[in-house]
């Protein structure tokens, strides 16, 4: 679905979360009842949040879990300060990338031994795309095109173009709704975002993956806006390679290391374009010739960023006992309810949802088109409703079910309506 198609989705098309029980029942009362019945509501207490604001920017930076500062103080004071170099073994520093990868794995539907944590999303996209090209059957030289989501987060496009130059492959940018029709005998690799970072549109991971495989191609998925927000099913859907960040819905902290998924069936032939010493089968042999380690470990490169790595590991504790299916159900309920509140409160014609109404096509954010978006978001933030902006005219609101409630959604919509009445409407486009 292109943006032009999502623009036709108006908030009036979104079904109400529940039937109204009477005209006198207020949205605020419904929010309170929904929060009281929410199985995830107690999770909010695990985060550092205040009651004076509504934080709807977890799709950019997740909130801080309360216990992380104390855990990191131990890493700094005891592990680094006292154990020092011994912490690589006694503190488990050396094995952290695989250990933390195995903790993320259930959240994205992967079995153990297939995810390694480290480096940035950009670096991991580069590894994955180049490695995917190298996994292709050399007996099919005509299979050369790299298909890239033209609406993707810019970094993915930059990296894909660089990978295309390095591997001598033509790159074909196209809208995701045209992707299936573009697959053919020349398709080598497909790079797609699972959730569109602007509109919140959820792309069809199972369908696209199956179609690419049917065409003989491999797929790399960017999970930055889906990991920790909805079921992904990497193993169940036969995904080849995937990357994702950990500082959004996984709440790993600013700049926390990203992750790389390499399906078990591809690991023996996974050939990283960045064969660092950490990926060597015997790193401390200091051999001049590179011999890759077994498994997803060969996706490592250099010395891991231990402070960020262990902050992420601590942050993942908030997921203990949480079902991703429950997170998804609450996410859809929250975004439905928010859109209903916007419909009820906002002045007619001032905002329009570009996030798909259909649950099967929606991530965990709502994007509203608003001609005065910069001024509106600035005022919203000043009033304690923290969302973000994508120029020129998109208001983005991320709903992180572990700590966002229905009262937050109602308050955000109500304050948005107040701001819209105060910020003058611009001339019609």
- Residues assigned a catalytic role: 153, 222, 247-248, 396
Please identify which residue in the block is written with the tokens 């299916």.
325
* Contact (Cβ atoms closer than 8 angstroms) between residue 315 and residue 47: no
* Contact (Cβ atoms closer than 8 angstroms) between residue 220 and residue 132: yes
Rounded to whole angstroms, the Cα distance separating 127 from 121 reads 10
Rounded to whole angstroms, the Cα distance separating 326 from 130 reads 36
Q: Which of 14, 117, 5 is nearest to 335 (CA)?
A: 14
* Contact (Cβ atoms closer than 8 angstroms) between residue 373 and residue 392: yes
* Contact (Cβ atoms closer than 8 angstroms) between residue 285 and residue 263: no
Q: Which of 160, 63, 123, 130 is nearest to 304 (CA)?
A: 123
Residue 352, both tokens:
């329009």
Q: What are phi and psi of 72, to 5 degrees?
A: -75, -30
Residue 47, both tokens:
């985060």
Task: Collapse the DSSP code of 326 into the 3-class scheme (helix H, G, I; strand E, B; otherwise coil) and give the result.
Answer: helix
Q: Which of 331, 336, 332 is nearest to 13 (CA)?
A: 336
Please identify which residue in the block is written with the tokens 């969302």.
387
* CA pseudo-torsion sign 397, 401, 406, 408: negative
Rounded to whole angstroms, the Cα distance separating 12 from 352 reads 9
The number of helices, as runs of H, and strands, as runs of E, in the chain is: 12, 13
How many CB atoms lie under 10 A from the CB of residue 294? 10
> Who contacts 33 (Cβ-Cβ below 8 Å, separation ≥6)?
none
Rounded to whole angstroms, the Cα distance separating 399 from 58 reads 7
């Amino acid at each position: 679905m292109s943006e032009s198609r999502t623009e036709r989705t108006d908030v009036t098309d979104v079904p109400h979360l529940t039937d109204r029980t009477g005209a006198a029942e207020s949205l605020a009362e419904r929010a309170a009842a929904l929060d009281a019945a929410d199985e995830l509501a107690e999770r909010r207490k695990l985060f550092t949040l205040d009651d004076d604001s509504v934080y709807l920017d977890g799709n950019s930076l997740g909130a801080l879990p309360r216990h992380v500062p104390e855990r990191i103080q131990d890493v700094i004071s005891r592990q680094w300060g006292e154990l020092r170099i011994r912490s690589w073994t006694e503190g488990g520093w050396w094995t952290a990338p695989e250990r933390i990868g195995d903790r993320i794995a259930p959240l994205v539907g992967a079995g153990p031994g297939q995810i390694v944590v480290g480096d940035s999303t950009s670096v991991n996209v580069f590894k994955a795309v180049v490695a995917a090209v190298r996994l292709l059957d050399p007996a099919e030289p005509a299979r050369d095109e790299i298909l890239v989501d033209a609406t993707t987060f810019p970094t993915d496009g930059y990296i894909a173009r660089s990978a295309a130059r390095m591997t001598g492959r033509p790159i074909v940018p196209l809208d995701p709704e045209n992707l299936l029709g573009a697959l053919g005998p020349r398709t080598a690799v497909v790079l797609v975002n699972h959730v569109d970072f602007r509109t919140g549109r959820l792309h069809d991971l199972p369908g696209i993956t199956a179609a690419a495989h049917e065409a003989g191609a491999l797929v790399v998925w960017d999970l930055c806006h889906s990991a920790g927000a909805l079921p992904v099913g990497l193993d169940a859907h036969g995904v080849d390679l995937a990357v994702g960040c950990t500082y959004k819905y996984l709440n790993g902290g600013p700049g926390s290391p990203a992750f790389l998924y390499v399906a078990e069936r591809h690991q023996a032939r996974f050939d990283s374009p960045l064969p660092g010493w950490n990926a060597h089968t015997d790193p401390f042999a200091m051999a001049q010739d590179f011999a890759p380690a077994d498994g997803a470990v060969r996706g490592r490169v250099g010395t891991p960023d231990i402070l960020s790595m262990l902050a992420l590991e601590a942050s993942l504790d908030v997921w203990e006992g949480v079902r991703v299916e429950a997170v998804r159900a609450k996410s859809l309920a929250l975004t439905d309810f928010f859109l209903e509140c916007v419909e009820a409160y906002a002045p007619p014609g001032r905002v329009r949802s570009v996030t798909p109404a259909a649950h099967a096509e929606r991530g965990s954010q709502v994007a509203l088109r608003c001609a005065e978006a910069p001024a509106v978001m600035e005022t919203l933030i000043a009033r304690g409703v923290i969302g973000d902006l994508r120029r020129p005219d998109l208001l983005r609101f991320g709903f992180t079910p572990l700590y966002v409630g229905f009262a937050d959604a109602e308050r955000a919509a109500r304050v948005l309506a107040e701001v819209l009445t105060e910020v003058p409407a611009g001339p019609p486009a």
